[in-house]
Amino acid sequence: MTTLTDPPKESFRLSMLLYDSRYRSMTIQIIALLAFMLGAAWLINNARINLAIAGKEISWAFLSSPSGYDINQRLIDYTSQSSHGRAAVVGLMNTLLVAVMGCILATFLGVVVGVLRLSKNWIISRLAAVYVEGFRNVPVLLWIVLSMTILAETLPQPRDFRGDDATASMMLFDSVAITNRGIYIPEPLFSRGLGDIPVLVGNSEEAVAACASYYDLDGDGQPATGCGTFQISLDLVAFLSVLIAMVMITKMNNKRADRIQDATGDRPATTLVNLAIVVLPVVSLLWYLGFYLGYPELKGFNFRGGTYFRNSLIALWLALSLYTAAFIAENVRAGIMAIAKGQSEAAAALGLRQGPIMRLVVLPQALRVIVPPLISQYLNLTKNSSLAIAVGYMDVTGTLGGITLNQTGREMETLLLLMACYLVISLVVSTVMNAYNERTKLKER
């Protein structure tokens, strides 16, 4: 009788790291990782040695020194006596402002133009095609400069609004002024506001003292608002908190309606209830805070009061939005064409018109195709905002990577910070959009 036994297990040998398929891939990855780490370490050490020889050791102290320059468009208090760190924060907020505004407008225009590209009306579809090809094939920098030129040369001057022989007038019941210097709109104000919370940015004692001496008009020895701190509006925090809470309640109400529909087949009305849930608390809060609008008024050689949007911001916003919308339109067109015609035919057989078919049937399914390339367009718009210096808009590239770099001579530090800013913004945008993409994609059993 023959007895079968398992062959003896082969002992491990170093040669198996290269010749055994079980270990080869891991070995190659470890070698590649070590080579990358050694190369990065060599580059960092070489840069450190060269900076030391040039007398420019890595230091971040310059962020707390007074900046010495003004920023024309800002969302928080800032003066020329504020620190370079505060100037970088102001520039970063300007970048985020134009990026958010641009993404919203570009998405709206891109969806509309993308749908019009598929219109059966030959004139409408051709006009949409001309728009897409025109904006896609011209560098965005030229569109930015052209937009700034149009705004500066065609809009009326503030003096044109003055006197009985005025050639220009304000719009919307004298609440909005559009001039060649910018646009003035009503400003939200509160007569019984909750106040602000000062938050330290990190100014040095010298910078705070310099700012205090510059603004201490009453002689109390205390730095004025904006000297080392920025203010968080409690009114805005309260408004956003109430709005977010009410939106979450409406979602809970919709889920309740879904459960009732699943159980009984009848869905209770939710539109008016959700509207009341959101509007009534928000209106009540605004009434409690004494909300009112501050209108811009022509005083002297310019308008005073209201919220001011400089022409540089408007030009950059429009140019980036129109340029990016052309690419989004093609993404939308491709996503719609990826949906089978049977979907539209089935919806039409149920009696739906073309508008509801596109809104309720086609676009929700097309989002699974549209969202991934849409992320890249949002990132491109955000990074293209670095061209703002061409029209004098002070974003983070113009402040941290421009004037601060030239004044301090800290090329390595400022560029590293600038790269980190754009990297963090891009990662946040990608994370949010990827999460949305996960929610919209098909769920398989």
Residue 225 pLDDT > 60, yes or no? no
| 189-193 own/partner pairs: CB under 8 Å, 24+ apart | 189/291, 189/292, 189/293, 189/294, 190/235, 190/289, 190/290, 190/291, 190/292, 191/289, 191/290, 191/292, 192/288, 192/289, 192/290, 193/233, 193/234, 193/235, 193/289, 193/290
422 vs 360, more confident: 422
Lowest mean pLDDT among 130-139, 142-151, 178-187: 178-187
Lowest mean pLDDT among 218-222, 376-380, 404-408: 218-222
pLDDT band at 145 (very low <50, low <70, confident <90, very high): very high
Residue 203 pLDDT > 80, yes or no? no
What pLDDT score does 173 carry?
A: 82
Assigned superfamily of 61-186+295-440: MetI-like (1.10.3720.10)
Beta bridge partners of 171: 176
Q: What are the residue ranges spanned by the domains of the chain?
A: 61-186+295-440
Q: What is the mean pLDDT of residues 261-278?
A: 87
User: Which pTM does this prediction carry?
Assistant: 0.81
The 10s digit of each residue's pLDDT in 336-352 is 888 888 888 888 888 88
Residue 38 pLDDT > 90, yes or no? yes
The 10s digit of each residue's pLDDT in 373-396 is 899 999 999 999 999 989 989 999
What pLDDT score does 365 carry?
A: 85
